[in-house]
Amino acid sequence: MSTSRKTLLTLPVSLFKRKAQSNSQRYEQLVRLYHADLYRYAFWLCRDQHIAEDIVQDTFLRAWKALDSLLDDNAAKSWLITILRRENARRFERKQLDYSDVEQENLTDDINPALEQQYDNAVLQQQLLLLPPEYGEPLLLQALAGFSSDEIGQLLGLNVNTVNTRLFRARHLLKQRLTAQEKG
């Protein structure tokens, strides 16, 4: 298990010592601990690097303004995810400009195991992004952000059994799609 993955799964019991740290120190610690997780989640929601960066920046701006309202430091990650989801919803209220991204690929003749792994990861990520949101969102929250089924249920306003069913269906659907892609 990679170090970054361990960080996602083993968070400290208390993230902050409220009296010992100023708001700016608490804020900096929030950014350090959760920026990567929030970016991955934002990217999954919008599927655009630049928009994801903007959503995360807006999330942290709102978090800074409302930092005193974070009373339970153990709920910081859920609090930030909630802010991020609301920021994502706000972007649909604003005018969206249409544009297209042109991706460039570097082609090489050499088959490199590291490149194969990158390709496999890209295929997995692409298939995850293609899952219907009701399945993909809980799976992303569990796999990348390390949330439990109970926490996902609270974040999404769902019963824990519904969350578990959606996680099962998401994994099953992902497995079917990856198997079909390997054969095809």
Q: In which band, very low, low, confident or very high, does the pLDDT at 6 lie, cut at 50, 70 and 90?
A: very low
Domain that includes residue 181, residue range: 114-184
- What average pLDDT does this structure show over 149-165? 92
Residue 102 forms part of a structural domain: no
Q: Quick check: 43 and 52 in contact, CB under 8 A? A: yes
* 148 shares a domain with 76: no
* 53 shares a domain with 82: yes
* 150 shares a domain with 78: no
Residue 92 forms part of a structural domain: yes
User: Is the model more confident about 60 or about 111?
Assistant: 60
- pLDDT for 4: 46
Based on the structure, what is the number of domains in the chain?
2
* 8 shares a domain with 55: yes
Residue 109 forms part of a structural domain: no
Query: How many secondary structure helices (H) and strands (E) does the chain include?
Result: 8, 0
Q: Which of residues 96, 127, 155 is at a domain's end?
A: 96
DSSP letter string, 12-78: -S-S--TTTS-HHHHHHHHHHHHHHHHHHHHHHHH--HHHHHHHHHHHHHHHHHTGGG---GGGHHH
* 76 shares a domain with 10: yes
Instruction: Give the pair of three-digit tokens for residue 46.
Output: 């919008």
* 133 shares a domain with 62: no
Residue 41 forms part of a structural domain: yes
Residue 15 forms part of a structural domain: yes
- pLDDT for 164: 93
* 84 shares a domain with 4: yes
* 34 shares a domain with 120: no
* 54 shares a domain with 8: yes
- What average pLDDT does this structure show over 60-70? 89
- What average pLDDT does this structure show over 91-108? 55
What is the Cα–Cα distance from 63 to 11, expressed in whole angstroms?
A: 19
Residue 104 forms part of a structural domain: no
* 124 shares a domain with 90: no
